[in-house]
Chain A
Amino acid sequence: MNSADPAIDVRNLVTHYGTRKILDDISFQARQGEIMVIMGGSGSGKSTLLRHLLGLHNPTSGCIRLLGKDITQLDADAMYDLRKNMGVAFQGGALFNSMTVGENVELPLREHTALDGNTIRIMSRMKLEVVNLAGFEDLMPAELSGGMIKRAALARAIVMDPRLLFFDEPSAGLDPVVSAELDELILTLRDAMNMTIVVVTHELESAFKIADRITVLDQGRILMSDTVAAVRASDNQRIRSLLDRTPRNEAMDPDEYMERLTREIF
């Protein structure tokens, strides 16, 4: 890959769940070492976009290039190799409940490398140190608090030193101190490892703190994909209402409204 190429390059992505169109003509780029925040109201398609970036679904059309490779065209072997360079921390953590925290963090190394057992153990403990969970490796995920689960999931996501890190809702449901710590951690990771990081969030404060660039989604379309300053200065009404936390006051079509309320009755 040429170092000038974007680490993430999404072009004209269209996706459906069943027959319902969820994402429509999504295009954006992120450079290596950049933190890209994906924002948008509830149901705007953030998680769906993330799942497509992770190659968990096949899009209807469009292409998604990660580290120069189009994952919509990639064969299973190449995808397998690419996944070693990707780390993902899911919103709910998605730790394996049948394994201890330590085993969770070690799993990618055990599956993908032939490293010595000691090296693997030291590496996973180092990552637990990084997320401030030192000494918790023998606990089961069920014994952790919500914030600890998020951090353990992050430790597992970065244990292979990936070049791409995806993080869904790092601060949702956490107290302000812990979520500020997580933001700090995301910045540190980028600086130390030059990771490209995609963060899905609807916490404005956290988004502005960590983002290099922000992509704003609204009803499956991109409103804007630009620098923090540009997003802040935007006078697009939808973006303003998201930033100023004003409720949406959309124009109402009375006929359509009545039709919705009485559909299939008359």
Chain B
Amino acid sequence: MLPSRRACRRLDPVLAFVAQVGQRSLQSLREVGYHAALLAEAFYWLLLGRWRRQPVRLRAVFKEAIGVGVNAIPIVALASFATGMMLAIQGIYTLRTFGAEGQVVLGISLSVTREFAPLITGIFVAGRSGSAIAARIGTMQISQEIDALRVIGINPVRYLVAPLLAAMLLTLPALTVLSDLVALFGGALYCAGELSLPMGVFFDRTFEVLIVQDVLHGVLKSVIFAVIVTLIGAANGFNVSAGAEGVGRATTRAVVLGCIGIILADMVFTFLTSR
């Protein structure tokens, strides 16, 4: 067993540092394991719950889908619109140095569908719902509602996490496609003003350069993000133990780790698929 933190303080500072690093990495490893187990269990209930007499109810999935998906539409749309415009402004500014403003459509449509739409959607859902999931489950944990579920014979993962995961997996790709469209619209609007490029022409060119794979690339990412946001939110909620303050810490952690998880996963996914 590793020495306790209090014991560490008395040891040589270097040794204490090493011990702490060891303890931290062990804890991180355990946390990754916990997330994996949570994911496996959530999928298990989604697929086999009916057979085990504990079905995941469609009504619950629907309710969560409204909460995490439909209600996120305004904010995601607004952010996407601004991003599309921003890309157009930057794109035209940069390409003008080469006298190649005409290529801006290619730049916008590729970066929106492959990168920005899934990323913006993921980050905003992590901010909105990752924290909400952690707060809800964390509050239920400290008020013994999770225990109450278990003694009633309701598996908490099946009841709380599985419908959320399903809702996220359904709505995040849909939100991403919406974000694609709105961001492109934002870009088109700016180009129409700055380059006098008619909107129709902008979209014609967009669909010329885009192949299905580009959109799919973005949508696939959003599926991964959906899993990340749900798991990190739920895991942090379930691990709350220290009262209201613990819930606060868990929500912050869920958002920060969720966003970092999304960006790291994005990098890895892009690296693996775009070479």
> Within 8 Å CB of A116, what residues of B?
none
Question: Chain A CB within 10 Å — which of B52, B136, B151 has the most?
Answer: B151
The interface size of chain B toward A, counting residues with CB under 8 Å, comes to: 19
Of B139, B145, B148, B153, the contact of A112 (CB 8 Å cutoff) = B153
| Residues in B neighbouring A98, C-beta threshold 8 A | 136
Contacts of A112 in B (CB 8 A): 153
Q: CB distance A54 to B152 under 8 Å?
A: no
A263 nearest CB neighbor, chain B only: B6
Check if A96 sits within 8 Å of B148, measured CB to CB: yes
Main secondary structure of the interface of B (DSSP, over half): helix
Interface residues of A (CB under 8 A from B): 51, 54-56, 77, 80, 83-84, 86, 88, 90-92, 94-98, 107-108, 111-112, 264
A86 to B52 Cα, complex, angstroms: 20
Task: Name B1-27 residues within 8 Å CB distance of A.
Answer: 6-7, 10
B152 touches A107 (CB 8 A): yes
Which residues of the other chain, A, contact B152 by a CB distance below 8 angstroms?
A: 83, 88, 107-108, 111
Contacts of A55 in B (CB 8 A): 150-151
Bound Cα distance A107, B148 (Å)? 11
Q: Is the Cβ of B153 less than 8 Å from the Cβ of A111?
A: yes
List 10 extra interface pairs beyond A97-B145, A111-B54, CB under 8 A: A56-B151, A80-B53, A83-B151, A88-B151, A90-B147, A90-B148, A94-B147, A95-B145, A108-B153, A111-B152
Indicate if the CB atoms of A97 and B151 lie closer than 8 Å.
no
* CB<8 Å pairs between A and B, sample of 8: A55-B151, A56-B147, A84-B153, A90-B148, A95-B148, A97-B139, A97-B145, A111-B54
B154 interface residue per 8 A CB criterion: yes
Cα–Cα, bound, A111→B52 (Å): 13
B144 partner, pick from A77, A83, A84, A94, beta carbons under 8 A: A94
Compute how far the CA of A96 lies from the CA of B136 in the bound complex, rounded to whole angstroms: 11
Report B26-59 CB contacts with A as 1/0, cut-off 8 Å: 0000000000000000000000000011100000
Point out the residues of chain A lying under 8 angstroms from B148, CB to CB. Answer: 88, 90, 94-96
Q: Does B94 contact A (CB under 8 A)?
A: no
A111 to B154, CA, bound (A): 8
- Say whether B154 contacts A90, CB under 8 Å: no
CA A70 to CA B152, docked complex, whole Å: 18
Whole-angstrom CA separation of A97 from B53 in the bound complex: 25
Q: Does any Cβ of A come within 8 Å of B90's Cβ?
A: no
Rounded to whole angstroms, the CA-CA distance of A122 and B222 in the bound complex is 45
Known: A77-B52, A94-B148. A83 touches B143 (CB 8 A): no
Residue of A nearest to B136 (CB): A98
Q: How far is the CB of A130 from chain B (nearest CB, A)?
A: 19
A68 vs chain B, min Cβ distance (A): 18
- Assembled-state Cα–Cα distance A38/B115 (Å): 61
